[in-house]
Structure 1
Amino acid sequence: MDIRGAVAVVTGASSGIGAATATRLHAAGARLVLHGRDGGRLAELAERTGGVALTADFADPAAVRAAAAEINDRFAGVDILVNNAGIGWAGPFHEMAAEDVRRLVEVNLTAQLELTRALLPGMRARPSASVIFVTSIAGRAAVAGEAVYSAVKAGVDAFAESLRFESAGTGLRVGVVVPGVVDTEFFARRGRPYERGTPRPISAGRVAEAIVHAIERDRADVYIPRWLRLPILVRGVVPGVYRALAVRFGGSG
């Protein structure tokens, strides 16, 4: 699809992948609606890109509904929705507080479903529209110490696939971008820094480029980096071997 002049909503745009994606969409000529929790960073990004800033914490369902209503009120229709907002939590599941579980599910899964549901009627009315979900390799391979995060990302994957089937024959396209380890503030915020030697983190810019490519080329499934497909193929063909290797070498992220 042609991004020039398209109305593009990017969630989690305060930093990391979201900010990088907003910058690249702006360079491609999109009109931006930027969501995030950090009002200061969001305002700075909006000033640089000419975007509309919507500061909201998507752990609050009412905030999601309010953001969707404002978007629908201000724009005749959305052409691109990048569901990127997400948070993490690291540690053994039995040590996780109930409030942390709720927050991860609300931000990483429920908010994406609700925002998509609210914007979908207008998007389906467009000649061409694109919904992109930024998931994680953790949702396809599972990661020790990130049980809930892996579960909600797997849920987003399944939702995106179902929505893609429902949208067959319409102008709505649905894509999933599956990053591995990305060099952002995510790991510090989840409570445990990334300390493994391999795989090495990739830049948020590389993920943003993959997102824009998925929109322009109607890509249903994009791994970044591409070699991440290999362990998922191994898991599907020889799951016993995969699990043994994951226990021995996988550890936590």
Structure 2
Amino acid sequence: MQRFTFAGRTCVITGAAGGIGAALTLELARRRAVLVLVDKDTDGLAGIAKMARDLGATDVSTYEIDLSDGADRGDLAAEVSSRLGGADLLINNAGVTLSGTFEQNRMADVEWLLEINLHAVLRMTKAFLPQLLARPGSHVVNISSLFGLIAPPGQVAYATSKYAVRGFTEALRHELAPRGVGVTVVHPGGVRTNIALNARLSGTDADGAQAADNRHFHETALTLPPEEAARQIVAAIQSRRPRLVITKAARAADLLARVMPARYWSISERVARTRKLT
């Protein structure tokens, strides 16, 4: 399969108003892509669209969409096909998280998360798949997570969704490879976005412990600039890499989980305690 080129190619990005999605938008704008930006944040979309135009994007269109609404996205795909001829690249990036244990989580919140993190990925891919198959050399990118490789406590719903995205993407890659469509799964770990700060507090948080944990995680664990993550993702698309794990810490955690699948978390906790003592 030939390297993917971006100039003049139609790229659909969900969660484009912030974090990795915004950084990807600007990285692709510099490469003269045609951008279709999806997010529920109207003001954020407008701001990132202006920046993308200023950076040289061939064309920029924005769609205010709440991916939790369960729609099949056929109307969006039809509009992209009618206006731009179809999509060459689909990046399913939008994601949310919850705080608290599964015991604390409300099922309504779990279902909300699964709709955005998993079902929206399926719906977007299903809606755009006919266009991608019709356009030679197209590509799909699904953003999973480090927590699609390891499953820490307090992340039951999130890890469920991200492991599912990983499985979906790997199976889809095997289906589409003979058809000339590239597929990449991305596992970011420790990228500096606001996903932890914006985590929905699910269940009781009377003492503020969940919110405090979210702030601590944001301040201590999320250190890689999203711009660097975007550069790595763009390079992976260009080279048609099937899998990208971002940050050395994430790659180390992935290796540990594969070598010691039953013990990786207890080992990780022991290492963390040792570091606190030194």
The bucket for the TM-score relative to the shorter chain is over 0.9
**Alpha-carbon deviation of 1:204?**
0.8
**Alpha-carbon deviation of 1:54?**
0.5
Q: 2:27 aligned with 1:24, yes or no?
A: yes
Q: 2:163 aligned with 1:154, yes or no?
A: yes
Q: 2:245 aligned with 1:236, yes or no?
A: no
Q: 2:108 aligned with 1:87, yes or no?
A: no
Cα distance, 1:160–1:47 mapped onto 2, change above 3 Å = same
Which amino acid is the alignment partner of residue 149 of structure 2? R
CA distance in 2, matches of 1:19, 1:117: 23
Q: 2:239 aligned with 1:195, yes or no?
A: no
Q: 2:85 aligned with 1:76, yes or no?
A: yes
**Alpha-carbon deviation of 1:43?**
1.3
After TM superposition, the score normalised by the length of structure 2 is 0.85
Which amino acid is the alignment partner of residue 125 of structure 2? T
**Alpha-carbon deviation of 1:56?**
0.6
What does residue 49 of structure 1 align with?
52
The two structures, once aligned, show a CA RMSD in angstroms of 1.9
Structure ID, larger Rg: 2
What does residue 208 of structure 2 align with?
none
Unaligned runs of 5+ in 2: 54-59, 202-210, 274-278
What does residue 227 of structure 2 align with?
205
Identity %: 34
**Alpha-carbon deviation of 1:48?**
2.6
Cα distance, 1:200–1:105 mapped onto 2, change above 3 Å = closer
**Alpha-carbon deviation of 1:28?**
1.0
What whole-Å deviation, never above 9, does each CA across 1:179-238 have from its counterpart, x for those lacking one?
112211111110442415764521111111111111111111111114422222222222
| Equivalent of 2:236 in 201, 209, 214 | 214
Which amino acid is the alignment partner of residue 244 of structure 1? S
Alignment of 1:58-207 (within 5 A): 58-62=67-71, 64-190=73-199, 191=201, 192=211, 193-196=214-217, 199=221, 201-207=223-229
Which amino acid is the alignment partner of residue 30 of structure 1? A
After TM superposition, the score normalised by the length of structure 1 is 0.92
How many residues end up aligned between the 2 structures?
251
CA distance in 2, matches of 1:131, 1:68: 14
